[in-house]
Amino acid sequence: AFAVKISPTGQVLEYSTYISGSGQDYGNGIAVDGQGMAYITGTTSSTNLLPAGVPGYQKSIKGGQDAFLFKMNFQAGIPPIYATYLGGSTGYDYGEAVAVDSAGSAYVTGATASTDFPVTNMALQTVKGWPYDAFEKDAYVTKFGSDGTGLIYSTYLGGSMDDWGYDIKVDSSFRAFVTGYSRSSQIPRSGLINTIKQASGGQDGFLTVIKSDGRSAESSTLFGGYRDDVSRGVAISPDGNTSFVTGYTSSPTMLNLVCGSDCEREAFPVYKWINQTVYGDRLYIGGNFSGDFQGSFDAFVMKFGQPSLVPSFSASPVCGTGEPNLTVNFTETTTGSGNILNRIWNFGDGTPVNDTGAIPMVVSHNYTSPGTYQATLTLYTYTSILVSDPVSITFCNPYTSANFTVAGYNNTADPIDVPINTDITFSGYAVNYTPTSYNWHFADGSANQTGQTTHHLFSQQGTYTVNMTAPSGTCCDNNTNIVGSKRIRVLAPPLARFVNSTTTPRIGCLPLTVTFNDTSPVGTVDYGVPTAWQWNFGDNSWNGTTQNVTHTYQHAGTYTVSLTASNAAGSNTYTQPGYVLVSGNVTAGFTASPRAGTAPLGVQFTDTSAGVPTSWDWRFGDGGSNTSQNPYHVYNTAGTYTVNLTVTNDCGHVASANYTDWITVNGNMTPKILFGNSTFPPTSENPVNGTPVLNVTFLGNTTDGTLIDSAVWSFGDSNTTTQTRAAGWPADNTWFNTSHKYYTVRDYTPVLQITNTTYGSGTTGGLYTDWIGVYPPIIVNFSATPPSGIVGQSILFTDQSSGSPVNWNWHFTDGSQNVSGLSSVSHVFNSTAVWNVMLEVWNKYGATGIGYRYVNITSADSSGQVYFVPQNITLITEDLNYRVLNVVLSKADYGLSSYTVKIDLNNSARAHIRNWATSPSWVDHFTYSVSPAFDSITLSGYKDSGMLPAGSRNISLGNISLTGISAGDADLRLNGTSIAQYGSSFMSLTGVPADIHVYAVSPLPGYSNKPADIWPPGVHDGLIDDFDGNGVVNTADVTVFFNTWVSGGFAGMPVPPFDYNHNNRIDTDDIVEYFNLIW
- Which pLDDT value is given to residue 284? 30
At residue 211, φ and ψ (nearest 5 deg) are -65, 165
Does 219 or 346 have the greater pLDDT score?
346
Q: How confident is the model at residue 836 (pLDDT cuts 50, 70, 90)?
A: very high
Where a domain ends, among 616, 637, 666? 666
Torsion on CA atoms 278, 282, 288, 290, rounded to nearest 10: 160
Same domain for 579 and 443, yes or no, is no
Q: Could you tell me if 115 and 132 are in contact, meaning their C-beta atoms sit under 8 angstroms apart?
A: no
- Which pLDDT value is given to residue 83? 97
> Is residue 293 in a domain?
no
Report the half-sphere exposure of 210 (CA within 13 A, side-chain side): 28
**Sign of the alpha-carbon torsion through 707, 713, 714, 717:** positive
- Which pLDDT value is given to residue 409? 94
- Which pLDDT value is given to residue 220? 83
Same domain for 678 and 643, yes or no, is no
Same domain for 80 and 134, yes or no, is yes
First to last CA, the chain: 96
Query: Residues of 163-181 as b/e, b for ≥16 C-beta within 10 angstroms?
Result: bbbbbbbbbeebbbbbbbb
Q: Could you tell me if 111 and 42 are in contact, meaning their C-beta atoms sit under 8 angstroms apart?
A: no
Instruction: Order across the sheet with 449-450: list the strands.
Output: 416-419, 483-491, 462-469, 439-441, 449-450
Same domain for 383 and 460, yes or no, is no
Verify cis geometry, omega within 30 degrees of 0, for the bond prior to 1016. Answer: yes
Q: Could you tell me if 334 and 389 are in contact, meaning their C-beta atoms sit under 8 angstroms apart?
A: no
Same domain for 854 and 869, yes or no, is no
Find the angle CA(978)-CA(980)-CA(982) to the nearest 5 degrees. Answer: 165
Parallel, antiparallel or unpaired: strands 988-991 and 863-869: parallel
> Is it the case that residue 1054 has pLDDT exceeding 60?
yes
Q: Could you tell me if 731 and 791 are in contact, meaning their C-beta atoms sit under 8 angstroms apart?
A: no
Q: Taking Cα atoms as reference points, which of 55, 239, 35 lies closest to residue 147?
A: 55
> Is residue 602 in a domain?
yes
Same domain for 153 and 19, yes or no, is yes
> Is it the case that residue 234 has pLDDT exceeding 90?
yes
Q: Could you tell me if 310 and 386 are in contact, meaning their C-beta atoms sit under 8 angstroms apart?
A: yes
- Which pLDDT value is given to residue 673? 72
User: How confident is the model over 964-1020, as pLDDT tens digits?
Assistant: 999 999 999 999 999 999 999 999 999 999 999 999 999 999 999 999 999 999 889
Parallel, antiparallel or unpaired: strands 391-395 and 319-320: parallel
> Is it the case that residue 678 has pLDDT exceeding 80?
no
Q: Could you tell me if 971 and 992 are in contact, meaning their C-beta atoms sit under 8 angstroms apart?
A: no
Q: Taking Cα atoms as reference points, which of 284, 299, 301 lies closest to residue 243?
A: 301
Parallel, antiparallel or unpaired: strands 654-666 and 596-598: parallel
At residue 930, φ and ψ (nearest 5 deg) are -115, 135
Class of residue 674 by CB neighbours under 10 A (exposed 0-12, middle 13-18, buried 19+): buried
> Is residue 283 in a domain?
no
- CA distances 692 to 688, 695, 713, 775, Å, are 12, 9, 21, 7
Cα 414 to Cα 569: distance, rounded to the nearest angstrom: 17
Q: Could you tell me if 669 and 706 are in contact, meaning their C-beta atoms sit under 8 angstroms apart?
A: yes
Proportion of the chain above pLDDT 90, given as a percent: 64
Q: How confident is the model at residue 188 (pLDDT cuts 50, 70, 90)?
A: low
DSSP E strands, 703-771: 710-714, 720-724, 737-742, 746-748, 751-756, 760-763
- Which pLDDT value is given to residue 81? 96
Report the pLDDT averaged over residues 740-755. Answer: 88
**Sign of the alpha-carbon torsion through 403, 408, 410, 416:** negative
> Is it the case that residue 125 has pLDDT exceeding 70?
yes
Same domain for 425 and 567, yes or no, is no
User: How confident is the model over 161-184, as pLDDT tens digits?
Assistant: 899 999 999 999 999 999 999 988
Same domain for 546 and 513, yes or no, is yes
> Is it the case that residue 191 has pLDDT exceeding 60?
no
| Continuous H helices in 632-679 | none
Same domain for 213 and 339, yes or no, is no
Q: What is the mean pLDDT of the chain?
A: 88
> Is it the case that residue 757 has pLDDT exceeding 90?
no
Q: How confident is the model at residue 668 (pLDDT cuts 50, 70, 90)?
A: low
Q: Taking Cα atoms as reference points, which of 358, 306, 307 lies closest to residue 332?
A: 358
Same domain for 713 and 636, yes or no, is no
Parallel, antiparallel or unpaired: strands 570-583 and 507-509: parallel
- Which pLDDT value is given to residue 393? 92
> Is residue 300 in a domain?
no
Cα 260 to Cα 268: distance, rounded to the nearest angstrom: 14
DSSP E strands, 859-924: 863-869, 872-876, 883-892, 898-905, 911-918
Q: Could you tell me if 56 and 37 are in contact, meaning their C-beta atoms sit under 8 angstroms apart?
A: no
Does 84 or 640 have the greater pLDDT score?
84
Q: Check residue 770 and report its DSSP letter.
A: T
> Is residue 220 in a domain?
yes
Q: Taking Cα atoms as reference points, which of 456, 435, 438 lies closest to residue 447?
A: 456
- Which pLDDT value is given to residue 388? 84
Cα 268 to Cα 273: distance, rounded to the nearest angstrom: 15
User: How confident is the model over 315-333, as pLDDT tens digits?
Assistant: 999 999 888 899 999 999 9
Proportion of the chain above pLDDT 70, given as a percent: 90
CATH number at residue 483: 2.60.40.10
Question: Which residue type, as a one-letter code, is found at position 388?
Answer: S
- Which pLDDT value is given to residue 277? 29
CA 356 to chain CA mean position, Å: 67
> Is it the case that residue 636 has pLDDT exceeding 80?
yes
Where a domain ends, among 812, 831, 858? 858
> Is residue 909 in a domain?
yes
User: How confident is the model over 802-831, as pLDDT tens digits?
Assistant: 999 999 999 999 999 999 999 999 999 999
User: How confident is the model over 534-545, as pLDDT tens digits?
Assistant: 999 999 988 899
Same domain for 390 and 504, yes or no, is no
CATH number at residue 933: 2.60.40.680
User: How confident is the model over 593-631, as pLDDT tens digits?
Assistant: 998 777 788 999 999 998 788 999 999 999 999 999 999
Residues 6 or more apart from 666 whose CB is under 8 A from it?
596, 597, 598, 599, 638, 759, 760
Does 296 or 1033 have the greater pLDDT score?
1033
**DSSP 3-state percent helix, strand, coil across the chain (nearest 5):** 5, 45, 50
User: How confident is the model over 847-897, as pLDDT tens digits?
Assistant: 999 999 999 999 989 999 999 999 999 999 999 999 999 999 999 999 999
- Which pLDDT value is given to residue 259? 37
User: How confident is the model over 257-302, as pLDDT tens digits?
Assistant: 333 444 444 445 544 333 222 223 333 333 333 444 445 778 888 8
3-state secondary structure 506-564: CEEECCEEEEEEECCCCCCCCCCCCCEEEEECCCCCCCCCCCCEEEEECCCEEEEEEEE
Residues 6 or more apart from 1048 whose CB is under 8 A from it?
none
> How many structural domains compose the chain?
9
Where a domain ends, among 739, 774, 809? 774
Verify cis geometry, omega within 30 degrees of 0, for the bond prior to 600. Answer: yes
> Is residue 291 in a domain?
no
CATH number at residue 82: 2.130.10
Same domain for 594 and 562, yes or no, is no
Q: In the beta sheet, which residues pair with residue 29?
A: 41
Question: Residue 643 belongs to what domain range?
Answer: 590-666
> Is it the case that residue 201 has pLDDT exceeding 70?
no
At residue 1046, φ and ψ (nearest 5 deg) are -60, -40
Q: Quick check: helix, strand or coil at residue 265?
A: helix
- Which pLDDT value is given to residue 336? 82
- Which pLDDT value is given to residue 302? 83
> What is the chain's alpha carbon radius of gyration, rounded to the nearest angstrom?
57
Report the pLDDT averaged over residues 460-484. Answer: 89
Cα 138 to Cα 155: distance, rounded to the nearest angstrom: 10
- Which pLDDT value is given to residue 846? 86
> Is residue 822 in a domain?
yes
Does 570 or 525 have the greater pLDDT score?
570
